[in-house]
Amino acid sequence: MKLLVTGYKGQLGYDVVNEAKSRGIVAVGVDIDEMDITNAQQVNDVIKAGNYDAIVHCAAWTAVDKAEEPELLDKVRAVNATGTQNIVNVCKELNIPIMYFSTDYVFNGQGTVPWNEYDERHPLNVYGQTKYEGELAVETYPKHFIIRIAWVFGKNGNNFIKTMLRLGKEKGAVSVVNDQIGNPTYTFDLAKLVVDMIQTDKYGTYHATNSGDFISWYDFACEIFRQAGMNYVKVTPVDSTAFPAKAIRPKNSRMNQTELDKNGFKRLPTWQDALARYLKEINS
């Protein structure tokens, strides 16, 4: 099998390429320098030249607050929606599968009931809207996987864990929101599922975060400092209004994972276990 992985410089793309290669699968990672997904001709040329069996599309605009700047709207949409459509068009022509990564931000973020894979989508912000438009593009082609993830962390990039560790060391105290509930996703664990799934024809929409009890960002921060042996850091729970942001954040990021179970895929390990392995990884 030969895979093309977009967004190779990001947390997920990096781990997917490494996981695929560890299993003897040929995986070619590209980023904007090798294939600008907003350039339809370039997408067409690169994919056709590589003779790929499937495309794992990790590239995305993920700067959520920056996406709200009116002058950047066209650019965000060009990446998340049009760029995805460009890849879908070539996949259709070549009759090869596409895997697209989406987000809980496609939902309205309200309530306390976990989102099902096929719940109605009502995005809260520009990022969520453009990722939703990407989903719609992917859904026009039967050979697709959509995997929704949340609260992503990995070795190759910045994330909440690295931010907490830095602030804890610098300030000895942090305030963290306790009214946004969900589960983290470790890209190392997700990459294993991705490589398992892309070798099947079990197409459809999946939710895949690390398993375990749903938590708030405050709960997550407390566990980060506990596992990192930084119990001296004072963690104060606050309402999300304490951190005004350009983009509205979902308060309910809980996602059911019934489609994973139904299709015989193994759920990701608990987020506590993922955190322990991640801390070991970044400290080694």
Q: Give the pLDDT score at 284.
A: 86
Q: Which residues of 195-212 are buried (b: 16+ CB within 10 A; e: fewer)?
A: bebbbeeebebbbbbbbb
Query: Residue 50's closest CA among 28, 20, 32, 31?
Result: 28
Nearest-CA neighbor of 106 among 147, 68, 74? 147
Q: What is the pLDDT along the chain (284 residues), one digit of tens a residue?
A: 999 999 999 999 999 999 999 999 999 999 999 999 999 999 999 999 999 999 999 999 999 999 999 999 999 999 999 999 999 999 999 999 999 999 999 999 999 999 999 999 999 999 999 999 999 999 999 999 999 999 999 998 889 999 999 999 999 999 999 999 999 999 999 999 999 999 999 999 999 999 999 999 999 999 999 999 999 999 999 999 999 999 999 999 999 999 999 999 999 999 999 999 999 999 98
φ, ψ of residue 249 to 5 degrees: the values are -100, 145
If one counts every other C-beta atom within 10 angstroms of the C-beta of residue 39, the result is: 15
- Give the active site residue among 8, 14, 52, 127: 127
141 is catalytic: no
Dist CA 104 CA 112 (whole Å)? 13
β pairing state of 185-186 and 144-149: unpaired
Domains and CATH numbers, the chain: 2-159+184-212+254-269 (3.40.50.720)
Degrees to nearest 5, angle at CA 73 with 69 and 74:
145
Q: Are the beta carbons of 185 and 153 closer than 8 angstroms?
A: yes
CA distances from 269 to 42, 67, 108, 187, 256 (A): 38, 32, 27, 12, 15
pTM, 2 dp: 0.97
Instruction: Give dist(CA 13, CA 157) in Å, integer.
Output: 11
How far is 90 from 111, CA to CA, in rounded Å?
39
- Cα gap 254→113, rounded to integer Å: 7
| CA pair distance 33, 221, nearest whole angstrom | 35
